[in-house]
Amino acid sequence: MGQRHHEDRAGRAHRSRPSLESLEGRQLLSVAPTATLQADASAKSSSPNLQVFKYKTPSGGTATIQIQGRGTLEGTTAPGGVLNLVYSKTNANTKIIGSVKGGNGTAPLATIRYKNLSIENLSGVGGSVLKTASLKQFNLIDNGNINLTSGVDIVYLNSIGANTQVHLRYLPETIPASDTAGSASDTTNNVSNNIITDVFLVQSLAGSSGEFLTAGNIVNESVAGHPGAPPAPPGIILKVNRIKGNITNPPNLLTDAEIFGYDATTNRLIRFNTATGDPNLTIQVPGTSPMVGGAALSRNAGHLDVVVSDGTTVYAFNAVTGAAEGSFTVTNLGLTNFTGIDALGSTDATLVIGDSNGGAQNAGILQEVDLTQSLIAGQAVPKGAAYTPQNQFTTTGGLAGVPGSVNIFAAGAAHFNTFQPDQVQLGYLTLSTYTFNTSATGTTFTNRLSETARTAIQPYTNVDLNQPADQIRGQALGSVDQALAAVTGLVYDSNGQPVANRVGLVSTISLSNRGTIQLKYPNLLTGLSEAFRPDLAGSALIDIQGNVQSIRGRTATGMVINDTGNLNLVQFDKVTNSTILAQPFGHAKIAHRKNVSIVSSPRDVDGRGGVTIVKNLRVVGPLSLPDDGSR
């Protein structure tokens, strides 16, 4: 982007389960009747309908994974006895149950993910929902990754290791399993989740929209005449006996975000802390010609790379170390009227390149690419078809994504002001990187760019699209958490010397003001990336979208909990070197804690229990590790 308690909760509403006898044969019409799971030599057996998976654990025990209700384990493997659990075609009644017999009574777990989604996709869009993932005897190993962001109710694990990430989204009780095709939605804290049910009664997350607004903590009262403790509020139940992250300094999630800027004058990438504005890493980009594509942050084989482009070649560098990671050309794509990349942006799982002068009528052209495969091939590997803006929207070069969203945001201009029909004004085009189709064969999600909204920057700003690109506001476009970030100019000292870049933050929904930050660098930055948090490396990260009833366990160290929603209860015997942030935070029942930070949006009991209250707390994340350790 840039220029050129109990296993079942008390009082929970019962979700009726549709009869499976007459539907089981319809569940996997595309799978042969004799289909079996052949993960590897460690797999002992699997059921013909792919709902049971058995294998030998490293300690000699037998592990069994079973789906209760609708769904399949197709794609699940256990190389060397380490489980990679893959599921699909589930609904709100589905339970995944794991057990271990023999050996040492436990089994190592590497990943859990939905079959047709990248594990890096934190939006969950395109995945099917679950009620329960009960793996009480399973240990999430170091560098492990669990992604249940399509929706889940209850999760049980035995332990969580270091440099791990657990991503969850709460599946509200108002979305029960359905016995008919259709759609349903739930709105909590101003965020709407849309669930579609196809002809096979599979329920998938089709979209999540809205700008999160904390509702304050939920205060339950006992019913008159029935004394006793009030029922627990709705939300995810997560129980893990032991959490063993490897950090000694708990991160401050309000001040640790970092962002890359690109300086065309020196041909360098500079990484800044967004709270202090201080630079802390410089990367010299190859060649003598300046990069014209801005900067973006994208996943390469599980770790984050910062990428830039000279117009025809994209260069990648490790976002943590700055080491060069390779390059690829884009000339093989054959894009219409392609003149050169002048925009780079990224969602969780895909890199998008853009040419603001390309496409039909030179309105611009955008293309999704796979960064990992492109670096391997040395040329761009596209994902889906190229996209050209419609209805007289012209891109101007800025491009950015935000975490946990399938949307990419393109800076540009269109006829927004009806009182000046002969002028165009600056604004942003919101594009979804996914589309879904529901038919007689089920629901399919594919990579395809499509417009979902266009919004004018207020007040209206007329622009001449014939002026040099670097003079058009919004060219250096990035993001910090859920806010778009654009360089708006330089900051000067009392002697008239430039000392910093001023960066404006705006909401991705309304483009309303979210404040400004200053990056301490005298040259005008012509590119910005998405932000990330290097200090999360080594932690046991638990990131949740939605309300949480409870997170419980025995011991936890190096734990980072980030909840965009009401976190009712955290209960452990001992917690050390950990950070908890929630909107808001409810109760902490921790017998012994040391070096633990708890941050909350305003709540009824204010700072009681050692909780730091932050007024006007904005959404943080969704968070992810800078390197998942998979390489």
Give pLDDT tens digits for 113-149: 999 889 999 998 888 999 999 999 999 999 999 999 9
**pLDDT score recorded for residue 18:** 34
Tokens at 361, concatenated = 């009528």
Beta-carbon neighbour count of residue 10 at 10 Å?
Answer: 9
**What's the predicted TM-score (pTM) here?**
0.87
Q: Which domains does the chain have, with CATH numbers?
A: 258-532 (2.40.128.630)
Q: What is the DSSP letter of 619?
A: P
Give pLDDT tens digits for 68-80: 999 999 999 999 9
DSSP 228-297: SPPPPPSSEEEEEEEEE---SS---TTT--EEEEEETTTTEEEEEETTT--EEEEEEPSSSSPP-S--EE
Tokens at 408, concatenated = 């990419």
Mean pLDDT of 209-214: 57
**pLDDT score recorded for residue 27:** 36
**pLDDT score recorded for residue 288:** 80
Lowest mean pLDDT among 33-42, 283-292, 530-539: 33-42
What is the longest distance spanned by two Cα atoms in the chain?
80
DSSP 145-192: EEEEEEEESEEEEEEE-SSEEEEEEE--TTS---SSSEEEEEEETTEE
The pairing of beta strand 83-87 with beta strand 107-114: parallel
Confidence of residue 238 (pLDDT cuts 50, 70, 90): very high
Give pLDDT tens digits for 348-406: 989 999 998 898 888 889 999 999 999 999 999 999 999 999 888 988 889 999 999 99
Q: Higher model confidence: residue 555 or residue 7?
A: 555
